[in-house]
Structure formats: structure tokens, C-alpha cells
Amino acid sequence: MAKNDKTQTLRVITRILTAFVGGFILTNQFAILISYQAQEAKNVDSIVGAMMLSFILYALIIIYVFASKSTTRALLSISALCSACFALMAYLEWVFR
């Protein structure tokens, strides 16, 4: 196996892990953020709607990761979005106490 083949294999594995693990984390954070909004409605349908939206978001994240030009850019953008969602969740948790 040539060095170039190993590098290409590592890039594909990194994209797969970024898409599935990072997408899973970001999707769950998105669903939690929508559930904060749904707390006021106290309606089960709004929570189910948030979960349906999260499935669409998960598919879009996977498409984005594999369509981006570089693996590093995809990894950094998913990490930045996860960090931003986490910061917003922490702020909302502090506000709703």
C-alpha cells in the first residue's frame, strides 16, 4: 500500500466519523434547542416536529461533510457549530432556571 493510499483512506475515515459522530451530536443539540422553544407550547406535537427536523438536519450534515472540498474544513465547521449550539444551550439553561 502506497503512502498516498493510506492518506486517502485516513481522509475517508475522518469524513465518515465526522459525518456520523459530529452529525449525531449536532443533531441532538439542535433537537434540544428546539425543545427549549417547545417548552412554552407544552405540546407533544412540537417535540415530535423537532425530532423530524433533526432527521433532515442529520441528512444535510452528512451531505455537507462529503461535499466539502477539504476534510479539515468539514471537521472544523461541524466542531464550530457544535460548540456554538453548546454555548447557546448553556445560556438557555442559565436563563430558564
pLDDT number for residue 40: 66
Q: Which three cell numbers stand for residue 33?
A: 434547542
pLDDT number for residue 42: 66
pLDDT number for residue 50: 80
Within 10 Å of residue 19's Cβ, how many Cβ atoms?
A: 19
- Compute the distance between CA of residue 6 and CA of residue 33 in angstroms, rounded to an integer: 39
One digit per residue, pLDDT tens: the chain, 97 residues? 567 888 899 999 999 999 999 999 999 999 888 877 766 666 777 778 788 888 999 999 999 999 999 999 999 999 999 999 999 989 988 887 7
pLDDT number for residue 92: 85
